[in-house]
Amino acid sequence: MSRIVVVGAANWDRTWRLPALPEPGTTVLGEFAGDGPGGKGLNMSVAVARLGGEVALVARLGDDDAGAALRRLLESEGVELAGVTATTGPSGQAAIWLAAGEATIAVAPGANATLDADTATTALAVCGEGCELIILQAESGDASLAAAGAWARGRRAGAPLPAGRRPGPQLMLSPAPARELPEAVWTASDVVVCNRAEAAFHSGMAVADPLEAEDAAIALCARGPQTAVVTLGGDGSVVARRDRATYLPPFSVEVIDPTGAGDCFCAAFAYASLEGFDAFASAGWAMAASAVCVGRMGAAAAMPTRDEVERVAHSVDLRRDPGMMPAEFS
């Protein structure tokens, strides 16, 4: 049984370094930086596994060489693959352009587009029974997201309520890339984690600074989640619980490749939450994980181990509640 199940995309990424991101109608000379596994679902599941968590992935791979390589990578990382199925045609592909610490990404969904409601529900029945948390992200289609939310609600029905929590499985939503999502997905979600652009899109509010991010995070909670986290890159992050928001300052690090940082944050937040951290401490630990991630090239390849995260976070007082001793992993 996996404690965390990720419903999401798996892609084969190709990355270029450029002196500047191209404007429409222009050509920019750069260098090919490499290729490797990516996709939000795959990145998150690999990150959870490297942190020491038990994780399963629900995804679709093509019957091409990329699909075979992605499956081998997931197996080598210890991700449960009972929910990963194959279909005829190409796997998902992504093209990534890097310049001055920023990334622009284009995605061809390929096999990911075939993860429909029936496929997601069947996969969750195989690998999701007894899980404590499900992560959803918007590279998956509306039907699969709604089906996963309905599946989780069905498992909650009639379950005993732990003190201070909804009965499991909890639902975390990463609404990236920014696009309209079914309202049922929002109302089913316990936690939403997004960057400033996604927060602006889904809240309808400007998010130019931490104060505006606090307002946007509170607005996101009004859509259903009990907790909303808005990541601000080099400006830190904001955590809201209903009508209360708190700003967390950033770690100062050199950014090599930000491609998988958001996925890393979500995975680390989920892992820390199940280890007993509250939302604020989980966000601080997730920021430390992302600080490691952005210092490396690649998406899945850049995901850190728990020891690497703790070396970054050890000087930060991660507290469950004011007045308590710093939280530690057992």
Average pLDDT of the segment spanning 76-102: 95
- Taking only the tens place, the pLDDT of each residue in 48-79 is 999 999 999 999 999 999 999 999 999 999 99
Q: At what angle do helices 65-77 and 40-51 cross, to 10 degrees?
A: 20
Q: Work out the mean pLDDT of the chain and round it to a whole number.
A: 90
* Segments in the chain forming alpha helices (H): 40-51, 65-77, 117-127, 142-156, 183-188, 196-203, 210-221, 261-274, 279-293, 306-313
Question: Cα separation of 12 and 104, whole Å?
Answer: 16
DSSP letters for 91-148: PEEEEEEEETTEEEEEEE-GGGGG--HHHHHHHHHHH-TT-SEEEEETTS-HHHHHHH
Whether 324 shows a pLDDT value over 60: the answer reads no
pLDDT-derived band at 157 (thresholds 50, 70, 90) equals confident
Q: What is the dihedral of CA 329, 278, 287, 134, to 10 degrees?
A: 90
Question: Cα separation of 55 and 32, whole Å?
Answer: 32
At residue 115, the pLDDT reads 96
CATH topology of domain 4-19+33-313: UDP-N-acetylmuramoyl-L-alanine:D-glutamate ligase (3.40.1190)
Angle, vertex CA 197, rays to CA 271 and CA 199, nearest 5:
60
Whether 319 shows a pLDDT value over 80: the answer reads no
Find all residues with CB under 8 Å of 200, minimum gap 6, and list them: 206, 207, 216
Which tokens belong to 48?
A: 């959870």
Give the DSSP H/E element, type plus range, for residue 255: none
Percent of the chain, pLDDT > 70?
A: 92
Percent of the chain, pLDDT > 90?
A: 81
pLDDT-derived band at 326 (thresholds 50, 70, 90) equals very low
pTM score above 0.75? yes
Question: Cα separation of 103 and 123, whole Å?
Answer: 32
Question: Which residue is listed with tokens 């029974």?
Answer: 129
At residue 155, the pLDDT reads 87
Closest CA to 238 of 205, 183, 284: 284
At residue 100, the pLDDT reads 87
Asked whether the beta carbons of 176 and 198 are under 8 A apart, the reply is yes
- Taking only the tens place, the pLDDT of each residue in 102-126 is 889 999 999 999 999 999 999 999 9
Closest CA to 75 of 37, 104, 101: 37
pLDDT-derived band at 160 (thresholds 50, 70, 90) equals low
Q: How far is CA 105 from CA 21, 83, 99, 113, 300, in A?
A: 11, 26, 12, 17, 15
At residue 165, the pLDDT reads 52
